C-alpha cells in the first residue's frame, strides 16, 4: 500500500462532478450499478423496508439483501454491484411486489398471455414450472405456481456488468482483504488482528467469512484512523474517521468505505458540514459553516452548494437559488437588521435584472446590470 494509494482514497474534497442526477428507476435498470450509486440509493430510499435482512454467500461470492415488506431481494456480486433481482408475489415470506413488472406483465398471468407481451420463452432445464427469456442486459426466469406467475428472477448479463465497469471503478475505495499477515486471534470467524505492508496498515476487530465484518478499528502509518462498523472488508455502517494528513474528522454513515448517508465533518481550520453524503461527496441537504463568517443551509450537489438554500453572513442573508456557492436565480437579499431587502435575479453571484426593493419600509424598483445599479436617464 503506497502513500499515493491512501491519498487517493482518503482525500475528501475530490471533485465528484461525474455524479449524475439520480432519477427514479425500476430495479432491472439498476443492474450492474454499485450499491452506493445515486440511482441505487434513491431507489432503496423509496422502499417500505427500512432495514433489510442481510446474507453473505461466500461460496457464491454474493451479498444479499432481503426487502420482505416490498416483495424483493437483491444480490450483489463480489464488486458489490447489483447482479440479480428477485421479485415475489405473496408468499416465500415476502409481501407482494407491487411496482411495475418488466414488459407490462402482472402477477397471476399465465404463460400464453405473458408471451404475447414478451415473445416466446425458452424452457428451464429440469423445471417444468419455469421458463426463461434473454435480453441484451439481463436474463429473466419466470416461475409459476398453479400455472400462474408467482416469482421473477432477473440476472445481469456479463455485457451489462462490463458496460458499468467505469462506474464500478469510480465507486472503488478501501477494502481490507485477507492478504496480510495474521498478528493474533481468529481472522476467519471471531476476533483478530491483521497487518499489511510490514505494518503500514492494521485492522483489529471482528471477522466473519474471512473478512473484517462487525466492529473494529483500522489505522495506518499516514495518520488515518477509522473506528466503527465493518462489512465484507469495507468501512460500512456507523463510524468515525480521522485524517491527520488532511486535518479533518468525520463521524456518521459509511458504505463501501465512503461517506454515504448522514454525517458530520470538521476541519482543523474551522470549516464544518453536517448533512447528507453520497459516494464521499456532500450531496442532498445540509449545513455548511466557516466559523462565524459564513453559514449555508440548504441543498448540496456533488460537493457544491447548489440548489435552494440560505446564506448567513455578518452583513445579512441571501435566500433562494444557488449554484456552486453563489446566488444564481431568483433570490432575496436582506441586511442583518432587515431594514433593506431586495428580491430579483442573480447570475453567478451578481445582481442582473429588475429587483423589487423595500428600504426603510419604502417599496421601489431597482435595475442592476452586472451587480451595478442602473440609474434611469431623465
Q: What is the DSSP string of 152-218?
A: EEEEE-HHHHHHTHHHHHHH------S-SEEEEE-SSSSEEEEEEGGGTEEEEEEEETTEEEEEEEE
Q: What's the rounded Cα separation, in Å, for the pair 236 and 128?
A: 42
For residue 50, the SS3 value is coil
DSSP line for 339-375: SEEEEEEEETTEE-EEEEEEETTEEEEEEEETTEEPP
Instruction: Measure the CA–CA gap between 215 and 367, rounded to whole angstroms.
Output: 60
DSSP-derived secondary structure letter, 54: E
The Cα–Cα gap between 213 and 226 comes to 14
150 SS3 class? strand
| pLDDT value of position 25 | 63
Give, rounded to a whole angstrom, the gap between the first and last alpha carbons of the chain. Answer: 73
Contact 1, 221 (CB under 8 A): no
Q: How far is CA 235 from the centre of its chain?
A: 14
Predicted confidence (pLDDT) per residue in 128-171, tens digit: 999 999 999 999 999 999 999 999 999 999 989 888 766 666 66
Q: Where are the domains of the chain?
A: 14-171, 322-378
Q: Tell me: the pLDDT tens digits for 169-196?
A: 666 678 999 999 999 999 999 999 999 9
Q: List the single range of 17-26, 105-114, 227-236 with lowest mean pLDDT.
A: 17-26
What is the torsion angle, in degrees rounded to the nearest 10, for the CA atoms of residue 91, residue 92, residue 93 and residue 94?
-70
DSSP 3: H
In what order do the strands lie in the sheet containing 62-67?
53-57, 62-67, 72-76, 82-88, 148-156, 138-145, 127-134, 122-124
- Tell me what pLDDT residue 5 has: 31
Cβ pair 211, 295 in contact under 8 A: no
| CA-based nearest residue to 14, from 300, 304, 354, 345 | 304
Res. 68: pLDDT tops 50? yes
Question: What pLDDT digit, counting tens, does each position of 255-308 carry?
Answer: 999 999 999 999 999 999 999 999 899 999 999 999 989 999 999 999 999 999
The whole-number average pLDDT for the span 50-56 is 90
* Backbone φ, ψ for residue 112 (5° rounding): -55, -40
How far apart are the C-alpha atoms of 347 and 355, rounded to whole Å? Answer: 13
Amino acid at each position: 500500500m503506497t502513500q499515493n494509494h491512501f491519498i487517493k482514497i482518503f482525500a475528501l474534497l475530490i471533485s465528484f462532478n461525474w455524479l449524475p442526477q439520480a432519477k427514479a428507476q425500476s430495479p432491472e435498470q439498476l443492474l450492474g450499478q454499485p450499491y452506493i450509486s445515486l440511482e441505487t440509493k434513491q431507489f432503496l430510499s423509496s422502499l417500505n423496508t427500512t432495514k433489510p435482512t442481510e446474507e453473505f454467500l461466500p461460496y457464491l461470492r454474493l451479498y444479499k439483501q432481503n426487502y420482505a415488506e416490498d416483495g424483493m431481494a437483491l444480490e450483489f456480486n463480489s464488486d458489490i454491484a447489483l447482479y440479480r433481482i428477485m421479485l415475489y408475489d405473496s408468499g416465500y415470506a415476502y409481501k407482494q411486489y407491487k411496482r411495475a413488472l418488466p414488459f407490462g406483465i402482472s402477477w397471476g398471468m399465465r404463460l400464453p398471455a405473458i408471451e404475447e407481451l414478451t415473445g416466446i420463452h425458452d424452457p428451464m432445464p429440469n423445471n417444468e414450472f419455469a421458463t426463461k427469456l434473454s435480453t441484451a442486459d439481463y436474463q429473466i426466469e419466470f416461475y409459476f405456481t398453479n400455472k400462474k406467475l408467482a416469482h421473477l428472477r432477473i440476472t445481469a448479463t456479463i455485457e451489462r456488468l462490463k458496460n458499468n465497469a467505469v462506474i464500478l471503478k469510480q465507486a472503488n475505495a478501501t477494502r481490507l482483504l485477507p492478504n496480510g499477515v495474521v498478528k493474533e486471534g481468529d481472522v476467519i470467524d471471531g476476533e483478530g488482528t491483521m497487518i499489511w505492508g510490514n505494518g503500514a496498515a492494521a485492522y483489529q476487530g471482528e471477522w466473519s467469512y474471512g473478512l473484517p465484518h462487525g466492529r473494529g478499528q483500522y489505522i495506518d502509518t499516514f495518520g488515518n484512523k477509522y473506528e466503527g462498523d465493518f462489512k465484507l472488508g469495507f468501512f460500512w455502517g456507523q463510524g468515525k474517521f480521522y485524517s491527520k494528513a488532511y486535518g479533518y474528522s468525520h463521524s456518521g454513515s459509511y458504505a463501501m468505505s465512503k461517506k454515504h448517508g448522514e454525517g458530520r465533518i470538521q476541519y482543523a481550520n474551522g470549516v464544518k458540514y453536517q448533512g447528507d453524503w453520497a459516494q464521499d461527496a456532500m450531496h442532498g441537504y445540509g449545513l455548511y459553516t466557516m466559523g462565524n463568517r459564513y453559514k449555508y443551509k440548504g441543498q448540496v450537489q456533488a460537493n457544491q452548494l447548489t440548489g435552494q438554500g440560505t446564506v448567513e453572513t455578518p452583513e445579512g442573508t441571501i435566500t433562494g437559488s444557488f449554484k456552486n456557492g453563489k446566488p444564481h436565480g431568483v433570490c432575496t437579499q436582506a441586511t442583518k437588521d432587515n431594514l433593506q431587502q431586495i428580491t430579483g435575479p442573480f447570475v453567478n453571484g451578481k445582481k442582473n435584472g429588475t429587483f423589487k426593493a423595500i428600504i426603510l419600509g419604502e417599496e421601489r424598483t431597482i435595475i442592476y446590470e452586472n451587480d451595478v445599479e442602473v440609474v434611469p436617464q431623465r
